[in-house]
């Protein structure tokens, strides 16, 4: 029996239009790898780190236009927007309409720490509290285009990631994901499920992130996949792991976000 794969798309990719990606990474860098990965749809979502971010990120359209008649791969143009309540969003509804979708990033702990130094992140409890509050704020944002979360409730670059996660109660998880579902925000099945910044099991996957995905499904959330690759080496081999994480969380085709179905 041929089992149809779920993970045939990747909506969280960076290129050299993100300052944290190598200068050599272009959309084309990922193309030759798609067949082996089983990926048919690429979504590029570069960072919006300042008010020039939208114009910079939209340059990807020219790059994609040149590739369209060379490949059967489908493309979407997105962006990854910073969310720090009370701070700049670097994205307005008017600007958002240039994109096919937006991924909101409310858990960039590294930016809370390095860019906005007035957040108190001195303990895992404080970081968790800020991350959860920020997630709830993000749930209620409406840019008028399909909106998902990049690495929802995954404290990116926090030194004590497992501790932050272990302290989120089931009740809080349900509250967060119910809010996301009610506000049509897609949840990302993100590379964090296999990164060794948290405890991994024999399959090289994180039990706590899989549990969180399962709770999100129970709360009625939709899902998309994101390798968060900044270069080809982060793309290779990632989709089989994301697929397995989705399978273990009980996610099926019916649970996928409309734009990746």
Q: Which residues bind Zn ion (CB under 5 A)?
A: 80, 105, 150, 228
Distances (CA, A) of 4 to 1, 7, 170, 188, 253: 9, 9, 32, 20, 10
Least Å distance between CB 111 and Zn ion? 9
Least Å distance between CB 41 and Zn ion? 17
What's the rounded Cα separation, in Å, for the pair 224 and 255?
A: 9
Nearer to Zn ion, 228 or 243 (CB): 228
Give Cβ neighbours of residue 12 (< 8 Å, ≥ 6 apart): 43, 45, 80, 103, 150, 188, 190, 224, 225, 226, 227, 228, 229
How are strands ordered across the β-sheet holding 9-13?
Answer: 9-13, 41-48, 74-82, 101-105, 147-149, 185-190, 223-226
Nearer to Zn ion, 18 or 176 (CB): 18
Least Å distance between CB 1 and Zn ion? 35
Least Å distance between CB 221 and Zn ion? 18
Nearer to Zn ion, 94 or 209 (CB): 209
Nearer to Zn ion, 80 or 255 (CB): 80
Least Å distance between CB 225 and Zn ion? 13
Do 142 and 182 contact (CB within 8 A), yes or no? Answer: no
Nearer to Zn ion, 42 or 203 (CB): 42
């Amino acid at each position: 029996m041929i089992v149809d794969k779920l993970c045939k798309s990747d909506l969280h990719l960076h290129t050299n239009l993100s300052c944290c990606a190598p200068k050599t990474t272009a959309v084309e860098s990922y193309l030759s790898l798609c067949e082996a990965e089983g990926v048919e749809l690429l979504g590029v979502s570069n960072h919006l780190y300042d008010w020039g971010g939208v114009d910079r990120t939209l340059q990807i359209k020219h790059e994609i236009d040149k590739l369209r008649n060379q490949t059967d791969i489908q493309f979407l143009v997105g962006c990854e927007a910073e969310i720090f309540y009370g701070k700049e969003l670097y994205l307005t509804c008017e600007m958002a309409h240039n994109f096919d979708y937006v991924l909101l990033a409310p858990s960039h702990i590294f930016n809370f720490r390095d860019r906005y130094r007035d957040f108190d992140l001195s303990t895992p409890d404080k970081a968790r509290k800020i991350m959860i509050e920020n997630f709830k704020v993000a749930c209620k944002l409406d840019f008028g285009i399909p909106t998902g979360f990049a690495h929802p409730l995954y404290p990116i670059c926090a030194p004590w990631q497992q501790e932050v996660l272990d302290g989120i109660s089931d009740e809080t998880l349900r509250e967060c994901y119910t809010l996301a579902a009610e506000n049509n925000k897609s949840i990302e099945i993100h590379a964090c499920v296999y990164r060794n910044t948290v405890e991994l099991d024999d399959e090289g996957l994180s039990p706590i992130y899989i549990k969180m995905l399962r709770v999100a499904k129970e709360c009625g959330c939709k899902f998309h996949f994101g390798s968060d690759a900044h270069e080809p080496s982060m793309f290779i081999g990632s989709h089989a792991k994301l697929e397995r994480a989705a399978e273990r969380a009980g996610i099926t085709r019916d649970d996928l976000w409309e734009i990746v179905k």
